[in-house]
Amino acid sequence: MSFLALSFSAPLVLLALAAAPLLYLLLRVTPPDPARIAFPPLKLILDLKKPDATPARTPLWLLLLRMALAALVILAMAGPVFTPATAPLAKSGPLLLVLDDGWPAAPDWAERVKAAESRIEQAGRAGRGAAIVAISEGSRPAALGDAATALSRLRALSPKPFFPDRLPALPALANFIKAHGEAQLVWLSDGVESADGRAFAGKLAALAPDVEILRDPRPVRALAGAENKATALEASLLRSAVGGQAQGLLRAFDQKGALLGEAPFDFDAGLTATARLTLPVEIRNDVARLDLSGESSAGAVFLLDAGARRRRIGLVAGASVDVAQPLLSPLYYLRKALGPFADLREAKPGDPDPIGHLLDEGVDVLVLADAGAGGTALSQRLDEFLAAGGTILRFAGPRLAAGGDELTPAHLRRGGRTLGGALSWDQPKKLAPFDANSPFFGLTPPAEATVSRQVLAEPEEGLPGKTWARLADGTPLVTAERRGPGLLILFHITADTTWSNLPLSELFVDMLRRIANLSALVAKKAAPDSEAPLGGEPLPPSQTLDGFGVLGAPPATAKPMLASGNILVSAEHPPGFYGPPDAPRALNAMAPGARLAPLDISGLSLKSAELTQAQPVDLRPPLLVAAFVLALADALASLVLGGRWRRQAALAMLALTLGFAPLAPPPAQAEPARTSQKVSPRDVESALATRLAYVVTGDAHVDEISRQGLTSLSEVLAQRTALNPGPPIGVDPARDELAFYPLIYWPIAPETPQPGPESAKKLGAYMKQGGLVLFDTRDAMFQQPGGPETAARRWLRAYLADVDLPALEPVPRDHVVTKTFYLLDNIVGRTVDGQTLIEALPPEPADPANRPARAGDSVSPVIIASNDLAAAWAGGAFGEALYPLQPGGERQRELALRGGVNIVMYTLTGNYKADQVHVRELLERLGH
């Protein structure tokens, strides 16, 4: 139902307006209230009766106000919608929507769907059918359905992470047009040429007249590539056209999705831009994914695999590796220096051909620490490696000095002639500052780094150019030479500390890092595909991108890709990581060297329109706001009329009105669902108050005694000490969380079954965390000295078999537990002669006289009493003993309670009473 541009979603509600006269009558007869007075002693005068007064009528203006309010609410409930005029459908036939669903459509996918929805709804209102063709599924025939079917199909679509070919969709479109002649064709284009855009547009224009094309004026932005340069990770960016936002932020993430860094970029007025991510090389090596902030598409994500990240460095030592003395191995210093930013490979000990195997593993840098590179086969392999762009880093040593090796940047003086006499310096030499053309330029040689021995280069032409570092007297320390794309570097010292202490300095690490960065550049330029780790084996997809650029599980259609060869991104090979998760190979949506060209439709007879259109306006919120304001006015009027007008009420009303006015128009936001973890109220209570706990044994009588005993003990504690415990609680060690209770009392009831091993494990953990379990075997009355073990002890022994307990001993007289609050001789309960066991103390000190109290380093995790403590503690409501004591007497009960107080204090304060500062006080009180 619609009048002009105004339509109602629930027009039947408007019928309620007809009931307005009824409302008029109803409101008219409702009188204002008399003053209502609450009066508690009303009973005293309830039987008195006096005559009443008559009510007044509602004034007319208030009546009108209320009726206007009612009318507004009714109108709002009818759901009025104001729809601005849209272009009417040109033709009478069904609607055919062609949807580009490659990744360029992803950033504004929601708007595309909205535009498509509004078209479909428009067709639906006009009673016409609609069909949707997604380009990526172009070969499927277009099925005509009603608007609801088309909408549900539209919502099932999502952008694909590649460029689908558009041309294969043409036959299906042609068939549809042929079948439904007067069809209205609308193409929601992503605005990118991608190989066949103009050809497709031309054929579409030929297919039917009046084809409409919807485009987003904003350009598509994409990441074309990223390179790990010496100081920064450089990413190159593309956009399809000038316009829109030129600046943005490039973000780098690691394998686990943690943000590592951000770099700004600016397209300025061009189509390309570069973002430089300056990060420490260790962190740069961890970068696995780059994306453009705010641009959610597969093209705006660039994945980096191991090839772009860590250099693989092979280490070979010439000397035999002494495992027992690692500091003497040259590789030790190299490992420490290179480990943080490189992937180190070493040959297996005893490998007959370590260099060959490392080259087979595909290292980028080969470090030879005084390892010989002689032999025809080997030198040929090394030459091949250099020709492929590899870097060889050599360190000198006794073997190299002995000569016979040509693989050096400069000729070395060799034989006994060169070393010894010429190099017997009086003092070790320091390093000279680095030249400007050296890759080490900028590093500062530390004053304490000295060289006491080195191999010498033959003075020859070009040697200064090859020299990267030199000593203070000008002799080269590091020389290097480019051999084809490869690089050969020689340190004229050993990699260990025998010739120089340079390997100990920070400079050594920095030099190696620069060399590693340099090598990355070399290897990359030379052969991008030379690092394929596994030859021609197919790599299964492990994680792939969807159209929005989100990494996820690969779809069922994804197939393994071959490691070698140029793979084109397609439905079968979505962009993502392929191969084993620890050494994945990345496939990116934008192929290397690809361009982003805008779709050119000039000269074609297509009706071009913008994607975003005016939205229909829901009139409900303003109507409801107006009704609310009227309701406030009505409330004010009622207050005035009812004689309850007060200044405060007026001010409050005014504040309310002002406060609500700006809040009213935006619709209420759904509150984010709060995730709340379930915590039992009992745990909450236990966490809030320190309380004693007892183990529920299953024997109701024993449990009741425990409860009574601990209740009385808690009361005594509250009365006499600084501790104010909450009511005691029964716990089940297998089920309940024990962390809240400092002390758990466990009376042994040997008749009850043993709790499972789970509870023993949990109890062990509780003790390890610092809890104290007070076991009470309650058998002092039956235990004969030297007699057989009682049932309770057997029970306890079996239960504790799996718990890691410390050694126990009977409580010594000077144990701190007998001094923590009261000075006691022993812990008594219903009986007095039972033994109490506690963690054994360290051996007695030499001068026991000065140490009246002893304690271990921590609180004993367990105390095993046998005197039935709880029964002695238990008192009635008036403090009387509830259970007979043996031998008996008020004093014994008092002593039992004092023992309990001491144990609790021991649990809570630990060994502090054993501290020396209390010695004087304790001695004084002991002597008294």
Partner 1 sequence: MAESLTFLPKKASRPGPGQQHAALDLAGRLPPLVLAARTAAAAAESGVHGRRRAGTGESFWQFRPFVAGEAAQSVDWRRSARDDRLYVREREWEAAQVLWVWSDLSPSMNYRSPLALQSKAERGLVLALALAESCAKAGERVGWLGLTRLSSSRDSTDRLAVALLSEARRLDDEFPDLPAAVPLRPREKAVLIGDFLVDVAEFAARLAALAGQGARGHVLAIFDPVEEAFPFEGQAEFFDEAGALLRAGRAEQFAEDYRSRLASHRAALEQAARAQGWTFALHGTDRPATEALLSLRLALAADGAR
Footprint on this chain of partner 1 (rule: CB under 8 A):
33-46, 48, 50-53, 643-644, 715, 718-719, 724, 875, 877-881, 887, 890-891, 893-894
- Which conformational region is residue 589 in: left (phi greater than 0), alpha (psi within -120 to 50 degrees), or beta? alpha
Task: Give the nearer residue to partner 1 in terms of CB position, either 53 or 447.
Answer: 53
End-to-end CA distance of the chain: 102
Task: Give the nearer residue to partner 1 in terms of CB position, either 36 or 256.
Answer: 36
Containing H/E element for 772? strand 772-776
Read off φ and ψ for residue 703, nearest 5 degrees.
-65, -40
Q: How many residues does the chain have?
A: 928
CB of 714 to partner 1, least distance (A): 9
Task: Give the nearer residue to partner 1 in terms of CB position, either 33 or 182.
Answer: 33
CB of 753 to partner 1, least distance (A): 34
CB of 885 to partner 1, least distance (A): 13
Helix axes 890-909, 700-720, angle to 10 degrees: 80
Read off φ and ψ for residue 290, nearest 5 degrees.
-115, 140
Count of CB atoms situated within 10 Å of the CB of 96: 27
What b-and-e string marks burial along 841-879, b requiring 16 or more CB atoms within 10 Å of the CB?
beeeeeeeeebbbbbbeebbbbbbbbbbbbbbbbbeeee
The number of CA neighbours under 13 Å toward the Cβ of 812 is: 17
- Look at strands 429-430 and 391-395 and give their pairing: unpaired
Q: How far apart are CA 235 and CA 253, in angstroms?
A: 14
CB of 36 to partner 1, least distance (A): 4
CB of 691 to partner 1, least distance (A): 13
CB of 882 to partner 1, least distance (A): 11
Cis peptide bond N-terminal to 812, omega within 30: no
Q: How far apart are CA 422 and CA 830, in angstroms?
A: 95
Task: Give the nearer residue to partner 1 in terms of CB position, either 44 or 846.
Answer: 44
Task: Give the nearer residue to partner 1 in terms of CB position, either 614 or 718.
Answer: 718
Task: Give the nearer residue to partner 1 in terms of CB position, either 44 or 269.
Answer: 44
Task: Give the nearer residue to partner 1 in terms of CB position, either 572 or 894.
Answer: 894
Q: How far apart are CA 843 and CA 686, in angstroms?
A: 38
Distances (CA, A) of 476 to 228, 399, 703: 30, 19, 87
**Angle at Cα 688 formed by Cα 683 and Cα 692, nearest 5°?**
75
Task: Give the nearer residue to partner 1 in terms of CB position, either 133 or 713.
Answer: 713
Count of CB atoms situated within 10 Å of the CB of 690: 18
CB of 251 to partner 1, least distance (A): 48
Task: Give the nearer residue to partner 1 in terms of CB position, either 33 or 458.
Answer: 33
Task: Give the nearer residue to partner 1 in terms of CB position, either 674 or 928.
Answer: 928
Q: Could you tell me if 185 and 155 are in contact, meaning their C-beta atoms sit under 8 angstroms apart?
A: no
Task: Give the nearer residue to partner 1 in terms of CB position, either 743 or 767.
Answer: 743
Q: Could you tell me if 821 and 768 are in contact, meaning their C-beta atoms sit under 8 angstroms apart?
A: no
Q: Token pair for residue 112?
A: 């595309």
Q: Could you tell me if 296 and 248 are in contact, meaning their C-beta atoms sit under 8 angstroms apart?
A: no
Q: Token pair for residue 309?
A: 């990240």
Q: Which residues pair with 7 in a beta bridge?
A: 2, 81
CB of 886 to partner 1, least distance (A): 13
Residue type, 869: L
CB of 716 to partner 1, least distance (A): 9
CB of 706 to partner 1, least distance (A): 18
Residue type, 12: L
Cα 335 from chain centre:
31
CB of 702 to partner 1, least distance (A): 22
Secondary structure letter of residue 230 according to DSSP: S
Q: List the one residue out of 425, 404, 405 whose CA is nearest residue 475.
A: 425
Cα 644 from chain centre:
58
Task: Give the nearer residue to partner 1 in terms of CB position, either 187 or 740.
Answer: 740
Task: Give the nearer residue to partner 1 in terms of CB position, either 40 or 581.
Answer: 40
Task: Give the nearer residue to partner 1 in terms of CB position, either 171 or 879.
Answer: 879
